[in-house]
Copies of this chain bind each other. A is one copy, B any other.
């Protein structure tokens, strides 16, 4: 089976693995207080062009839950698009920590200023939660990306209204290396109060780097990590991986490779007159097929059924740094056969 199922199906990129091996029998202090984690943090700080608190966590849900619970008072809530990862695919982790998610429709997976403003206007008394944070993802759950102007507008809105802006970067590599992207890591650090850089979906074995730029969110964050079970005893194994990813741009090269594979697949589909469910901007492609095509393809390819639709389904095709050109060719060829 050829897999377009996700971007986290292999242990890790070779260079990342090598680092873990090379560490050999050296001893490191626990809980992320080691020189490898510190060096990885320095590499990231160089890229974001400012100082920040950087914490390495085991996974995305941990990042989201810990940052949100750390930032909000009991009566405060976070605004997110309906399709947001925290709203749909984290089994209520944010609510389990006591906070409501104020849902907005969004457009192509992205929050819109108008909807945020409406939430602010209507939440005006003590019978309602206080919107205190906006949560966005880049790239989004539907593979789209924020333009710099879009992010600036939301950031401005948040600052004017005393809200934190938190960006889920599980696939930040894919966003920053997308063809139409005009944001840098430094822009994101400047415009948000906290964000995380996803390792798991971009070549690491596990691990994400939470970057906190707003001083108000810094104090006690390691306590919050620990109580959320997000402080690994061997934190250094995540630090080493981020060293490998960030010391010479591997992080960006891997993401670019994933995007290039997606663009090749997109072009192949476009040439066959196929329409996309969402704009194809990064390494996730959403496309509707009739049931018989879905069935036929699913015999040789792994992918996720995203949504049942009339007489068929929207499927999600995900590429990664490990996707091979011939896998895409094979998919398109098989599609032609079925589609005849």
Contact = CB atoms under 8 A, between A and B. Distances in A.
A93 interface: yes
Interface of A is mostly: loop
A97 B10 CA distance: 33
Nearest to A28: B9
Interface string A60-79: 11100110011001111100
Nearest to A201: B233
B229 A126 contact: no
State the oligomeric state as a number of copies: 4
A30 interface: yes
A59 interface: yes
B61 A58 contact: no
Contact of A229 (B10, B66, B206, B236): B66
Interface in A192-247: 200-201, 205-206, 220, 222-234, 236-237, 240
Q: How large is the interface on A (under 10, 10 to 19, 20 to 34, 35 or more residues)?
A: 35 or more
Interface stretch (A16-24, A152-160, A282-290): A16-24
Contact of A98 (B23, B75, B96): B96
Nearest to A320: B27
A94 to B, nearest CB: 8
B226 A91 contact: yes
Interface of A: 3, 5-6, 8-12, 17, 20-21, 23-31, 58-62, 65-66, 69-70, 73-77, 88-93, 95-101, 103, 126-130, 200-201, 205-206, 220, 222-234, 236-237, 240, 302, 322
